[in-house]
Amino acid sequence: MNVLFSSFTLVAMLMFAPDPSWDEEDSDEPDCQRSEAADAASVLYGEAEELAEAATVALEHAAAASRYAQAVEAIPEDERAGKQGTKYVEKAHAAYLKAFTDTAAALDQRQGWLAEDRAMLEAYLAVVARRRERGDPCLGDSSGAETALQLVVTLDAQMRPPPPAPAATPDTTPPEPRRTPAQPSRPLIVGGAIALGVGAGLGLTALATGLGLALPAREQLPDSEPGGRAGIFRRGAAGNALTITGIALLGAGVAVGVPLLVTGSVRASRTRQVSLRPTWGGIEGSF
């Protein structure tokens, strides 16, 4: 399953790799020149680029993402919503997503990286909103970050554990003289049904959402203008990542739920209730 998941991820990244020209800074705008602090942030960005190029496993991708995020924080807030900050944020999100989709990492680590990614995107978009209200002419294109946040929110909801079951109300009825022992097959059947239902529900939801993003992006790409392809690439990459996550969740639900249901059903078929009663001739029983 992990090999299949990684293969789909690699294909998605190759299909929707960002246009290299999108990463270029426009230095011809005199009103949007960088401050010295913003220039200093580019040093951290360079370190993050080196880490990202050498990264092969989740921890290394996460380290690169953290350094990109530090570069974002180093940019003054009144410049953070510009092209430089926008590029740093999207690079950080891409690295966080690579770390998250590596299922070889521990679950709590993946949840932590997802939380860091979400916090960074929300903080950046809050700055964008404030600068937009002030009519800042140097704002970057934040549509990619908005799409990324939608993806992260969806993944975050899928990763949360189910809420605890409510406490059972104490049974005050008097005990019966005889009780039928609980069937040992029932927990397996219930557990299998829950695993299959949750996996299928979350998997199909993520799959449908991902296809809803990726397919329109693929259709729009051939007819799009060169200046608008960056947003299409980002939407397509987000859709593919969500589609792959849906396939993984659906497969996990089937892999866990079906064996439990089969085992429980077999055990249930072997269980028989025994009934004994006294008679004039001795003891009679039914099986």
Note the pLDDT tens digit of each residue in 91-149.
999 999 999 999 999 999 999 999 999 999 999 999 999 999 988 888 989 999 999 99
pLDDT tens digits, residue range 224-239?
A: 666 565 666 676 777 6
267: closest CA among 165, 200, 187, 178?
187
For the ranges 33-37, 51-55, 207-211, the one whose mean pLDDT is highest: 51-55
* Confidence check: pLDDT of 283 > 50: no
The pLDDT, as a whole number, for residue 74 is 92
Angle at 144 between CA 143 and CA 145, to 5 degrees: 90
Mean pLDDT of 153-167: 79
Domain coordinates in residue numbering, the chain: 1-10+17-25+33-157, 185-271
* Confidence check: pLDDT of 63 > 90: yes
* Confidence check: pLDDT of 30 > 50: no
For the ranges 33-47, 150-164, 248-262, the one whose mean pLDDT is highest: 33-47
Angle at 121 between CA 153 and CA 76, to 5 degrees: 170
For the ranges 11-25, 144-158, 201-215, 219-233, the one whose mean pLDDT is highest: 144-158
| Greater model confidence, 58 or 232 | 58
Q: Are residues 116 and 66 in contact, defined by beta-carbon separation less than 8 angstroms?
A: yes
pLDDT tens digits, residue range 67-96?
A: 999 999 999 988 898 999 999 999 999 999
The pLDDT, as a whole number, for residue 57 is 95
Distance between CA atoms of residues 107 and 153, nearest Å: 17
